[in-house]
Amino acid sequence: MDAPSQQAAIGFLADPASHGGEAVERIDTHISTLFLAGDRVFKLKKAVRLSFLDFSTLVARQAACEAEVTINRRTAPDLYLGLIAITREADGSLAFDGAGPVEEWVVAMRRFDQSTLFDRLSDAGRLDTDLIDGLTDAVAACHAAAPIRSDKGGRDGIARVVDSNRAALLAASPAILDPAEIEALDSATRNALERLSPLLEARRESGLVRACHGDLHLGNICLVDGRPTLFDAIEFSEDYSCIDLLYDLAFLLMDLDHRGRRDLACRVMNRTLDRTGDYDGIVTLPLFLSLRAAVRALVLGTAAAANGDDAVRERQGAEARRYLTAARAYLTPPPPRLLAVGGLSGSGKSRLGRDLAPLLGVPGAVVVRSDAIRKQLQGVAPDHRLGPEGYDEAVTERTYQTMYETCARLLAAGLPVIADAVFARPEQRAAIEAVASAAALPFAGFWLEVDPDIAAARILARRADVSDATPEVLRRQLAYPTGTITWTRIDSGQDKPATLAAARASLGL
């Protein structure tokens, strides 16, 4: 129901005459009302006071509108046009930015094609790897530019989420969400929080809590001029938006996973790690994924409890239970294991590593690529091409040693890992096997073989890849003394599904 104080403004915004005769579409959320007309969108804040926000006064709504424009222009400057006043004119009529006193404030936005919303692209089966890679890079750029907020987040910030989740979940009807399931989830969550508290605090102190998006699900991402664009960031609560970078990313990963696209969630995670090198932080991801799923469970559970339509209530309740089940599952990952994928440049080892990763845990195995490690050690972006000095013997030795150590730490944290490198030398293969042996964990190694002409053609066809390999590099590799190879050999000259099938068969997946 519209607040009495806003009825006149809502009537004005809903009237086609206010928009040059354009038809008006109205969309309501729990805190906003949007009016879509022509090539514009006008977003009105509802005059509500909730536990986490207060839009009950005109001054508060003006401040919220100003904050929304400022915050969202960081990622969507072409969408957020500015703040507009709805004014009461001398003749009693309402106008946009007129001369009379302000009746209401709205955010003006450029209208976009809603079929390009990423949740709709997902539903239509149109999310491909190019879009996902572009989205990952957009999120990375947002996070890199976000102001550091070490006064927020950390152990206490996550503890507040845990407390509020439990209270809100238990407030839903027991017929919708089982209180015993909620208590079991809460216990597991608090155990994880206690274990990770030192790391969460260390991340806060090192600048990894920032002013993030805060609501990074697929419904808040669209295409603007063909580019993945983040919009509708949280402006009303710094407790929700000033968070750990991985907690922000976790909403996107959880949403993709929940929609049956674990492959894309895993791709986002590993592309992010290639760029950031935040391997030590990724141990927080099971907790963060669980918290995001629990929030979705409570939102849907609360909505179901309040819904008078039996069919809708049952549908929302079933979805809430799915999220609650997922929240528990994220905290109970499968046992860790180590895979290694080796082969000369162009053999398809990185593709195989990416394809195997989603099959090992949620959202998948961490792929530790020597190519990415090498760039991280040099302090350059993944797509920056290194000169010969970046590939001398000392740098290569340091790269492999860092890769071994990174894999060991990830395994010790209970995460599945895939090591991706050439592994041409027997001592390199022995060293990565020793990482698994030292941890008393299963190991499997794959050696990919392909005709050199096919490999060279693949190298030439690469676009914006972290690898700097060229056909000349391949020619030098062909002369390497590889020694006896005991890993499972796979002919990767066949099509990609066949290569993956061979590896899966070897692993029993």
pLDDT digits (tens, 9 = 90+) for 446-461: 999 998 888 888 888 8
Distance CA 193, CA 391 (A): 41
Summarize the confidence of residues 475-496 as an average pLDDT.
89
Summarize the confidence of residues 350-372 as an average pLDDT.
95
pLDDT at 475: 81
Q: Which residue has the higher pLDDT, 395 or 433?
A: 433
Q: Which residues partner with 223 through β-bridges?
A: 228
Mean residue pLDDT of the chain comes to 94
pLDDT at 388: 75
Token couple for 270: 């590993």
Domains of the chain: 4-111 (no CATH), 118-330 (3.90.1200.10), 338-507 (3.40.50.300)
Token couple for 381: 């972006």
Residue 104: closest CA among 5, 242, 24, 193: 5
Neighbours of 398 (CB within 10 A): 13
- Helix, strand, coil shares of the chain, percent, nearest 5, are 55, 15, 30
Q: Which residue has the higher pLDDT, 226 or 345?
A: 226
pLDDT at 473: 78
User: How large is the C-alpha radius of gyration of the chain?
Assistant: 26
On the 0-12 / 13-18 / 19+ scale of CB atoms within 10 A, 280 is middle
The answer to whether 76 and 230 have CB atoms below 8 angstroms apart is: yes
Least confident of 311-320, 360-369, 448-457: 448-457
Q: What is the pLDDT of residues 232-257, one digit of tens each?
A: 999 999 999 999 999 999 999 999 99
Q: Hey, is 344 helix, strand or coil?
A: coil
Distance CA 272, CA 416 (A): 17
* Three-state SS letters, 190-246: HHHHHHHHHHHHHHHHCCCEEECCCCCCHHHEEEECCEEEECCCCCCCHHHHEEEHH
pTM of this structure:
0.93
Q: Which residues partner with 418 through β-bridges?
A: 339, 367
Check whether 166 has a pLDDT greater than 90.
yes
Band the pLDDT of 2: cuts 50, 70, 90.
Answer: low
Helices 426-438 and 393-412 pack at an angle, to 10 degrees, of 20
pLDDT at 38: 96
pLDDT at 175: 86
Q: What is the pLDDT of residues 141-160, one digit of tens each?
A: 999 999 999 999 999 999 99
